Amino acid sequence: MPRAGSGQLAERRALRHYRLRGYRILATNVWVAGYELDLIVRRGRRLVFCEVKSKSGPGFGAPEEMVDREKQRRLVRAAEAWLARNPACRDLDVSFEVISVQQGWLRRLALGDPF
């Protein structure tokens, strides 16, 4: 389960979102290669590395805007390290997503080419 503190509610909502859509939760809040992976989920041959972002108010943009190119680079590096430690998942179709929670709304966004 997600850790206590900042973002806990958003991470719980993200977990529920994926579970309701048939995904199996493989890991939450995993530290690897010096970076954190919020959620790792799988459905069939699809493996998703998900970053969860939330904001309480409308100021300063949307939560997903915090996932800039540098953050995407770190996500990819952590995902590569996680896959190296989990060889059974190496041949799956990997994707990267952001769950954005703001003012009660949850949005799921696919990251384009994160490289």
pLDDT digits (tens, 9 = 90+) for 26-47: 999 999 989 999 999 999 999 9
pLDDT of residue 114: 47
* CB of 72 closer than 8 Å to CB of 50: no
Give the residue ranges of the chain where pLDDT is below 50.
1-6, 114-115
Radius of gyration over alpha carbons of the chain, in Å? 14
How do the domains of the chain map onto residue ranges?
A: 8-93
pLDDT of residue 5: 43
pLDDT of residue 59: 66
pLDDT of residue 37: 95
Give the pTM: 0.85
pLDDT of residue 6: 41
Contacts of 22 (CB under 8 A, 6+ apart): 43
pLDDT of residue 106: 80
* CB of 111 closer than 8 Å to CB of 79: no
Residue the block writes with tokens 């859509």: 21
- Of 3.40.1350.10, 3.30.160.340, 1.10.510.10, 3.40.225.10, which CATH number belongs to 8-93? 3.40.1350.10
